[in-house]
Amino acid sequence: MLSLIVFLPALVAAALSVLPARLGPSVFTGAWTATGLVQLALVGAVWADLPATGYGAVERREWIPSAGISYHLGVDGLSLPLLALTVVLFTATALYSWRQSDRPKDFVLLFLLLQTVSGGLFVSLDLILFFLFFDLSIVFMYFVIAGWGTGAPAREAALTFFLYTFLGSLALLVGFILLALAADTPTFDIPTLAARNPLAGGGTYAALTLLAIGVGLGVKTPVFPLHTWLPPAHTEAPAAGSAILAGILLKMGTYGFVRIAMPLLPASWRQFALAFVIVGVLSVIWGALVALAQEDLKRMIAYTSVNHMGYVLLGLGAAGMVSADSEHARELATTGAVYQMVSHGLITAALFLLAGALHDRGHSYAISAYGGLATRIPRFAALFAVAAFASLGLPGFSGFIAEFQIFAGALDAVPLSTVIAVTGVLLTAALFLRATSRMLTGRFRVPDTPGTPRPFPDLRAPELLAIGPLLLLATLLGLLPRLVLDVIEPAARTLNDLVAR
């Protein structure tokens, strides 16, 4: 079942590749959308069958037995929400790209491959398989940015992105090998390693392993100070690429922490939990402050991602601060961190798609170039305002549920860091309200450079169909959190038990 979900997009891509490119965009985007919808139904079936504990829908085949590598797939409460997020975001992106006019065939094929790779990563239960998907995501995203970005700067940004994250993935590989070699019989199997806990004693070897894995995942997440590839990549990427980059690819980093770093290196995680908390808080504050100073809408959203991912690290770090009666708090912190991954994916993807829709019309991301949009394009304005408020953590949207749990869970363990991180909520409010009121209210103003089309239409049906459901889901998760918490909480408890042993 999982194999089908993961490789369905790749199969569709293979089938589409034989079709001639002149067929027009709707054939390709239509097939892409249909793929996403089928995947969505399949994920729904997996969700319904998820066991209360352990992994569901497990598949395992020998691959390279001599090195302890197997093709091992499975989902639990940590990965299933992210798998669902992947499918939802790709489907939304497909709808958004309905009118893709620039080389639609290549564009769709590339995204379908990226879709397979992203889904595959979240269900991998083998380190090498995980690494493979991790690396391929970088390769495909490089082509998206370089091929559909805005010219020469895009290629440069794509190269920076590639080199930076690729180097990170090398560190990750080193960490994985160190981890596998620590077991009596080398194995890359994640559940086996978690059960055997070969580095239970901690020590320098374990610390170096955590360092390598932490740097590898930290680049991808990204955390301060490894985040500088992110803003240029986002600025130059096409809207669909940005949405997937922020919504899915960043989660690969944070997901790696909960799937690999924490359960496989529990002793070191506990030992260095404070370091992760500090990196998280630095990311929160740095990301928010730098975002506040941005004049470019996309760069601003990109930096808020650094801020939001910082909360995840704060929560996960706090979950490593094990003490006698901290069980409830640590459960909240871990659950909140996982919830934040899903929430950020939905909201930030919506924001990036909105920014893309604006760029399609005005050919500029400069915040100061726009004004009074609410009077002329009310649907855009309404969705942008909703997305902005969702992103600044307003209750009623998913971000609040995530951040509140993280703060509540972390305060006892790391009071000072948490109080500092809470101010991030205020900074994001400031930056989003600033952008919102500058762009949406006042006199109507749009960039008036030559080549700007005169009419400035409101959001069209494909854009609405892509962005609306994302925000609807963010609202649903904000009002009825039990829908997803019931899945995440048992897995979070299991994870915390693994960390605390």
Partner 1 sequence: MLIPLLLGLPLFSGTMLLLGRPARGAVVAGTLAAAGTLGVAVAAAVERPVDRVPLLAGIPAGFAVDGLSGVLVILVPAVLLASLLVSAAEPDLRTGRFHALMLIFAGAMLATVTSTTLPPLLMAWEVMGATSWALISYQLDDPRAARAGTVAFLTTRTADLGLYVAGGAVLAGSAGTMALADVATLDGGWLHVAIGGIVLATLGKSAQLPFSFWLSGAMRGPSPVSALLHSATMVAAGGYLLLRLAPALDAAGWAAPLVAWVGVATALLMGLVAVVQDDLKQLLAASTCAQIGFIVLAAGTAGTQAGLLHMVAHAAAKSVLFLVAGLWLAALGSRSLSGGLRGAARRHPIVGTAFTAAALSLAGLAPLSLWVSKDAVLAAAATTSSGLYVAGLVAALVAALYSGRALWHVWQPAPTTGTAGPTRLARSATAVNVVLAVAAMGAGLLALGPEPLRPQPPPHAGELVVSAALALAGVLLAWRYADRMPDPAALEGWLRLEPAARRWVARPVLRLAALLARFDERGLARVPERTGRAALALARRTDGVGERALDRAVGGVTGGAQALGRAARRPQTGRLHQYYAQASVVFALLGALAVLLIAVR
Q: Which C-beta is closer to partner 1: that of 34 or that of 426?
A: 426
**Minimum distance, C-beta of residue 231 to partner 1, in the bound complex (Å):** 8
**Minimum distance, C-beta of residue 352 to partner 1, in the bound complex (Å):** 20
Q: Which C-beta is closer to partner 1: that of 249 or that of 413?
A: 413
**Minimum distance, C-beta of residue 300 to partner 1, in the bound complex (Å):** 10
For residue 77, the tally of other CB atoms under 10 A from its CB is: 26
Residue linked to tokens 């909360």: 311
**Minimum distance, C-beta of residue 315 to partner 1, in the bound complex (Å):** 12
Q: Which C-beta is closer to partner 1: that of 80 or that of 125?
A: 80
The token pair at 96 is 């958004």
DSSP 366: B
Q: Which C-beta is closer to partner 1: that of 163 or that of 195?
A: 163
Q: Which C-beta is closer to partner 1: that of 40 or that of 385?
A: 385
Cα separation values, 158 from 106, 173, 252, Å: 17, 22, 18
Backbone dihedral region of 451: left (phi > 0), alpha (psi from -120 to 50 degrees) or beta? left
State how far the Cα of 101 lies from the Cα of 355, in Å rounded to an integer: 18
Cα dihedral sign for 84, 90, 94, 95? positive
Q: How many CA atoms lie within 13 Å of 479's alpha carbon, on the beta-carbon side?
A: 6
**Minimum distance, C-beta of residue 170 to partner 1, in the bound complex (Å):** 14
Q: Which C-beta is closer to partner 1: that of 191 or that of 393?
A: 393
**Minimum distance, C-beta of residue 492 to partner 1, in the bound complex (Å):** 8
Q: Could you tell me which of 346, 71, 122 has the C-alpha nearest to residue 256? A: 122
**Minimum distance, C-beta of residue 488 to partner 1, in the bound complex (Å):** 9
**Minimum distance, C-beta of residue 225 to partner 1, in the bound complex (Å):** 6
Q: Which C-beta is closer to partner 1: that of 33 or that of 294?
A: 294
Strand partners, 466: none
The token pair at 308 is 């939001």
For residue 66, the tally of other CB atoms under 10 A from its CB is: 6
The answer to whether the beta carbons of residues 360 and 348 sit under 8 Å apart is no
The token pair at 289 is 């402050």
Three-state DSSP at 181 gives helix
Q: Which C-beta is closer to partner 1: that of 437 or that of 449?
A: 437
Nearest-10 Cα torsion for 163, 168, 174, 176: -130
Q: Which C-beta is closer to partner 1: that of 87 or that of 332?
A: 332
**Minimum distance, C-beta of residue 412 to partner 1, in the bound complex (Å):** 4
**Minimum distance, C-beta of residue 370 to partner 1, in the bound complex (Å):** 13
Instruction: Please give the span between the terminal C-alpha atoms of the chain, in angstroms, as a whole number.
Output: 33
The answer to whether the beta carbons of residues 338 and 258 sit under 8 Å apart is yes
Q: Which C-beta is closer to partner 1: that of 98 or that of 389?
A: 389
The answer to whether the beta carbons of residues 245 and 344 sit under 8 Å apart is no
Identify the H or E element spanning 70: strand 69-75
Q: Which C-beta is closer to partner 1: that of 21 or that of 429?
A: 429
Three-state DSSP at 397 gives coil
**Minimum distance, C-beta of residue 423 to partner 1, in the bound complex (Å):** 7
Q: Which C-beta is closer to partner 1: that of 60 or that of 434?
A: 434
Three-state DSSP at 39 gives helix
State how far the Cα of 96 lies from the Cα of 350, in Å rounded to an integer: 10
Q: Could you tell me which of 496, 343, 485, 367 has the C-alpha nearest to residue 431? A: 367
Q: How many CA atoms lie within 13 Å of 246's alpha carbon, on the beta-carbon side?
A: 35
Q: Which residues bind partner 1 (CB under 8 A)?
A: 160, 163-164, 225, 228-229, 231-232, 286, 289-290, 292-294, 328-329, 331-332, 335, 372, 374-375, 385, 389, 394-396, 400-401, 404-405, 407-412, 418-419, 422-423, 425-427, 429-430, 433-434, 437, 440-443, 481-482, 485, 489
